Structure 1
Amino acid sequence: MSKHERWSTLLELLAAKGRVEVEEAASALEVSAATIRRDLDELAEQQMLQRTRGGAVAHGVSYELPLRYKSSRRAPEKQRIAAAVSDLISEGEVVGLNGGTTTTEVARTLGLRTGGGAREGAPGSATAPLLTIVTNALNIAGELAVRPQIKIVTTGGVVRPQTFELVGPLTVGVLNEVVLDAVVLGVDGVDPGLGIMTHQEEEASISRLFAERSQRVIVAADSSKMGKRAFARICGLERIDVLVTDSAIPDPVVAGLTEAGVEVVAV
Structure 2
Amino acid sequence: MINIAERHQFILSKIQKEGHLTVLDLCKELDVSSVTIRKDLKLLEEKNLLFRTHGGATLTDTYTVDRNVNEKEKLQSAEKSRIGVMAAKLIQPNDSIIIASGTTVLAFSKHIQPVETLTVITSAINVAQELLRHPEVEVLLLGGLLRKSSSSVMGPYAEQILADFFCSKLYLGVDGIDLNFGITTTNVMEAHLNRQMIAVSHKIIVLADSTKFGKRGFGRICGVEDIDEIITDNGISPHVKQQLEAMSIKVTIV
Question: When the two structures are superposed, what TM-score results if normalisation uses the length of structure 1?
Answer: 0.70
State yes or no: 1:91 paired with 2:78: no
Deviation at 1:61, TM superposition (A): 4.4
**Cα distance in 2, alignment partners of residues 191 and 233 from structure 1:** 10
**Cα distance in 1, alignment partners of residues 93 and 221 from structure 2:** 28
Aligned counterpart in structure 1 of residue 201 of structure 2, from 208, 211, 214: 214
Query: For residue 10 of structure 1, what is the aligned residue in structure 2?
Result: none
**Cα distance in 1, alignment partners of residues 140 and 121 from structure 2:** 5
Residue-by-residue CA offset, 1:196-228 (whole Å, 9 max, x unaligned):
111110011111111110000000000000121
Query: 1:1-267 alignment to 2 at 5 Å?
Result: 61=63, 63-110=65-112, 113-114=113-114, 119=116, 129=117, 131-267=118-254
**Cα distance in 2, alignment partners of residues 194 and 256 from structure 1:** 14
Closer/same/farther in 2, CA of residues 61 and 191 from structure 1, 3 Å limit: closer
Aligned length: 193
- Give the % identical residues: 32
Residue-by-residue CA offset, 1:220-259 (whole Å, 9 max, x unaligned):
0000001211111111122211100001100111111111
Residue-by-residue CA offset, 1:164-186 (whole Å, 9 max, x unaligned):
11111110111111111100000
Question: Is the contact made by 2:206 and 2:230 (CA closer than 8 Å) also made in structure 1?
Answer: yes
Deviation at 1:160, TM superposition (A): 0.3
Residue-by-residue CA offset, 1:97-143 (whole Å, 9 max, x unaligned):
11110000111111xx22x6xx4xxxxxxxxx2x1110001111112
Q: Which has the higher contact order (CA 8 A, sep 6+)?
A: 2
- The residue identity in structure 2 corresponding to 1:142 is Q
**Cα distance in 2, alignment partners of residues 71 and 254 from structure 1:** 25
Deviation at 1:260, TM superposition (A): 1.4
**Cα distance in 2, alignment partners of residues 77 and 227 from structure 1:** 18
- The residue identity in structure 1 corresponding to 2:73 is S
Question: Is the contact made by 2:142 and 2:158 (CA closer than 8 Å) also made in structure 1?
Answer: yes
Deviation at 1:145, TM superposition (A): 1.9
Deviation at 1:193, TM superposition (A): 1.7
Structure 2: state its 5+ residue gaps: 1-61
Deviation at 1:195, TM superposition (A): 1.9
Structure 1: state its 5+ residue gaps: 1-59, 120-128
Deviation at 1:63, TM superposition (A): 3.1
Provide the aligned C-alpha RMSD in A: 1.5
